[in-house]
Amino acid sequence: MGLVASLEVVPAVVFKRHKDALAELVAPPGAPTFWLDKSWLQFHTTLRARPKPLCLAISGDHSACGRLEGGLVRAQGEEPGGDGDESEDELGDDFYLGYASPALVQKVDQALEKLTEETMLAAIKAAGWSLGTGGKKYYGTAFRELKKAYRAAAKQKDALQVLIT
């Protein structure tokens, strides 16, 4: 089925209060949420090849739970290359929870403003991902959502929570 991602604005004061225990951070009810659906994978694998800050746009600069390796989400402590006998159900639910700090949000927002939708679509295609039927619309919509998330958080000087489930 595939993993999906969302970005949620987290007030800077809440982020700072939980900075040493981000796994315990709970965003306030009604915080603006932005949906990337499955496009996070193409964005992450494409942007991670770019210099900072864009390479951190999907993962953020603070990991709370799980880790991103390339386009793979791994549970904390999970080792790649197991014996291969485990079914997907036995592996458990992989997810990633990370945060883009308020400082990173400002930098990514500025970098995303310079990145056009056409350039992003071309980069996705150049990275070997098929845009397929409707792909331009799908990825274009998700890219605008990514930019909106960073813009919304940057305006308030807030952080962003990245949740991939």
Domain-located, residue 43 = yes
CATH number for the domain spanning 153: value is 3.40.1760.10
Contact 90, 156 (CB under 8 A): no
Domain-located, residue 97 = yes
For residue 132, what pLDDT is reported?
Answer: 83
For residue 1, what pLDDT is reported?
Answer: 59
Instruction: Quick: pLDDT tens for 77-122.
Output: 544 444 444 433 334 458 899 999 999 999 999 999 999 999 999 9
Q: Which domain holds residue 97?
A: 5-74+90-164
Return the higher-pLDDT residue of 85 and 16.
16
Domain-located, residue 80 = no
For residue 82, what pLDDT is reported?
Answer: 45
For residue 53, give every residue at least 6 positions away whose Cβ sits within 8 Å of its Cβ, in sequence order, or none.
104, 107, 108, 111
Report how far residue 54's alpha carbon sits from residue 101's, in angstroms, rounded to the nearest whole number: 14
Query: Mean per-residue pLDDT for 124-141?
Result: 93
Q: How does residue 2 score in pLDDT terms, banded at 50, 70 and 90? A: confident
Domain-located, residue 85 = no
Most confident of 22-31, 52-61, 82-91, 127-136: 52-61
Report how far residue 79's alpha carbon sits from residue 30's, in angstroms, rounded to the nearest whole number: 36
Domain-located, residue 124 = yes
Domain-located, residue 152 = yes
Angle between helices 40-47 and 135-156 (to 10 degrees): 70
Query: Mean per-residue pLDDT for 134-153?
Result: 97
Domain-located, residue 84 = no
Scanning the structure block, which residue is given the tokens 């071309």? 122
Instruction: Quick: pLDDT tens for 32-82.
Output: 999 999 999 999 999 999 999 999 999 999 999 988 775 556 655 544 444
Total domains present in the chain: 1
Token readout for 61 is: 């600069």
Q: What residue spans of the chain are helical by DSSP H?
A: 12-17, 40-47, 88-91, 102-114, 117-126, 135-156
